[in-house]
Structure 1
């Protein structure tokens, strides 16, 4: 009996030895490195080499109606940019009846901070993302006005990690109506110099001897804005000067990949202020070779200046406003943005050759 026990004991020990040996060999051939932890998530999380343009729409968790208004209106105008002989061209290509043509080189994404959301809120966001596949879920960010600048930083990190051939990012808000097709058209044709006669009526930039630029920062700039000391826009930590540094207003502005990379790689060194557009002005202030371009077609001030067909961005728009402009554009085959053009406030040409406090008092139009 003892011999039988000894026999099975030896068999068990031999089996355990070969099991252990097999595990060691397997581990030597299999990569067991754990994926790096991430603060962000999205259904599409692999590195994309096709996308060159991102429209980053800042939107709160509760604003699904606004996001759906964008998806149903101006987001579809990406299809007006077509590729022929490896050249991107603008051609009105949209109607009520034709199916929407998806483009692989441009995406519209909505970063959402999900930290602290209830189970029902998370389920609703998840259901929305399942059908739209265009949300960037920022897991370690509580979504609030105070965290908007941090939200932009987290988004830049995610974009830099996931879109290796990115050229430009248009940042806007979920109450902005954007002619994304015309913005891409101008970027393809004129960026980063933005000095072509075709757009000279609308843009102003600092005169430089060299036209070799390392990046682009394009929008409607202000350099004389006084610092808010109380209220919603209060900046308790501001100490740089009596006014904000020149910045493009946050209803819509464009930055190049070089700026995206800079923010992503240096995020832990950057000062963060309540206003994300003010923060962007500070982050880019010391960067050399960035072409800063002021454009009156960006209607991005605290209150809309009215409606003009040439406008590229119209801030402070409701979903109803968006559907009205969308219908007007479709019925006019892209030639008319406004059902009735009107001017509520004057715009200004930014004077880059004077001190910032004097930037915007002259040449009002």
Structure 2
């Protein structure tokens, strides 16, 4: 009897097993069909990446750098770093994907933009406080303009425009420059070949009592401008930490009134430039560029040139007694490569790109460094030229005219030294 029951149980199990497996399979198939029918795939995300330096016709896309702009995430404690983070997020192409496109990226750069709250702002130096309160202002009216300096057609466009940063009271410096290396008009290179058109213009702000007691020089400045027509003056306070504004506002003026110039020399009014030798160098660069355009059949190729006395791996000056002092609470990190501000030369095509990218870089108090920041944002490295001596010649060589044979620029020279050196260098080829 027991054996019979065991045989019948095994037989029953063997009969029921296929049925159970079939039912489980049927349930699995039904569940799979239900999930498939109810599943909706996520919308496809299209992310646009634009290589640095490529012109874009639409304002809804921002450039995506090949490398990080700065490693600012490790330096969030400083005010400038925080502001730049916010601006980077504003222009991030992924984060902007769902925006309507109506937002203006420059809204946050206007004078109406609120300054971030920092508890110890009052404990910072006065020049830093003044900079923080005005660092969002980028538009200032022109008090003196020169709209016709570069003529009305391409034939009057200069090969080189020399933009010299000066101050209202520096009459003597400007006059020494006009009489020596900064003469406007046709200038012959030292190679003796064809003359090239050069225009010199001086960049000024407004002198006021906040920078110290000053005599009223407005009438003298007006007379100077009536005679020479080579002054640009904007309605902002002319202070050391506002020199960056002269770059931004000059680029805007250049785009409006002199876009067909080829090169820009930007310098201080206490440098000495061997203009003829500089023209020879620039003419060679321009010829090589045009040959490359022909050989590659690339008529749209632009010349991107930026040379000067390049400084690498510089750290902010933390000495409170110097005019270059940058508190750690304002900026942390290493400066990007930049050229000493005594004088640099760059192509106008690059100047236009710098103007555009500057809208995505918060103003910085030191103009040399800010220019390096904009170049870094473009993914462009400044080129070093050994002829740019922003820290001057060795003292033993300064009185020897032959020591200037390979020099394009030296810094610093007062007006009397400019006139003396200019006269000595007129016979430089025969002497050396």
Interval of TM-score (by shorter of Structure 1 and Structure 2): 0.5 to 0.7
Which of 244, 256, 261 is 1:161 aligned to? 256
Q: Residue 192 of structure 1 contacts residue 213 of structure 1 at CA under 8 Å; is this kept in 2?
A: no
- One of 183, 193, 205 as aligned partner of 1:113: 205
Structure-2 change in CA distance of 1:151 and 1:254 (3 Å): same
Alignment check: 8 A CA contact 1:325 1:337 kept: no
Shift of 1:292: 3.2
Counterpart contact for 1:59–1:111, Cα < 8 Å: yes
1:80·1:90 contact (CA, 8 Å) conserved in 2?
no
Instruction: Note closer, same or farther for the CA distance 1:266–1:41 as it changes in structure 2 (3 Å cut).
Output: farther
TM-score, length-normalised on structure 2? 0.55
3-state DSSP of counterpart to 2:163: strand
- The corresponding residue for 2:331 is 238
The verdict on how the C-alpha distance between 1:90 and 1:51 changes in structure 2, with shifts beyond 3 A counting, is: farther
Deviation at 1:274, TM superposition (A): 2.1
Q: 318-327 or 212-221: which moved more?
A: 212-221
Tell me whether 1:51 sits opposite 2:152 in the alignment. no
Q: How many pairs does the alignment contain? A: 264
1:174 paired residue among 257, 269, 294 = 269
Shift of 1:336: 7.0
Supply the distance in 2 between the matched residues of 1:221 and 1:76 (Cα, whole angstroms): 27
Q: Secondary structure at the match of 2:260?
A: coil
Larger radius of gyration: 2
Q: 3-state DSSP class of the match of 1:314?
A: strand
In the aligned structure 1, how far is the partner of 2:207 from the partner of 2:266?
22
- Residue 135 of structure 1 is matched in structure 2 by 231
1:181 to partner: Cα distance: 2.0
For 2:281, the equivalent position in structure 1 comes to 186
Following superposition, the deviation at residue 267 of structure 1 comes to: 4.1
RMSD between aligned alpha carbons?
3.1
1:276 equivalenced with 2:383 (yes/no): no
Aligned counterparts of 1:193 and 1:224: Cα–Cα separation in 2: 31
Deviation at 1:281, TM superposition (A): 0.5
Between Structure 1 and Structure 2, the one with more helix by share is 2
- Give matches, 1:18-37, under 5 Å: none
5 Å-filtered alignment, 1:73-112, equals 73-76=180-183, 79-81=186-188, 90-91=191-192, 105-112=197-204
**Distance of 1:154 and 1:160 partners within structure 2:** 10
**d(CA) in 1 for partners of 2:280 and 2:172?**
28
Which structure dedicates a bigger proportion of its chain to strand? 1
SS at 1:286 equivalent: helix
Deviation at 1:271, TM superposition (A): 2.1
Counterpart position of 1:228? 317
CA distance in 2, matches of 1:177, 1:287: 30
* Distance change in 2, residues 1:337/1:157 (3 Å): farther
- In structure 2, how many angstroms separate the alpha carbons of the residues matched to 1:272 and 1:193? 35
C-alpha deviation, 1:122, in angstroms: 1.6
Alignment of 1:195-344 (within 5 A): 214-230=303-319, 231-236=322-327, 237-239=330-332, 241=333, 243-288=334-379, 290=380, 292-301=382-391, 303-305=392-394, 306=398, 307-330=403-426, 332=427, 334-335=428-429
Preserved CA contact (<8 Å) 1:111 1:136: yes
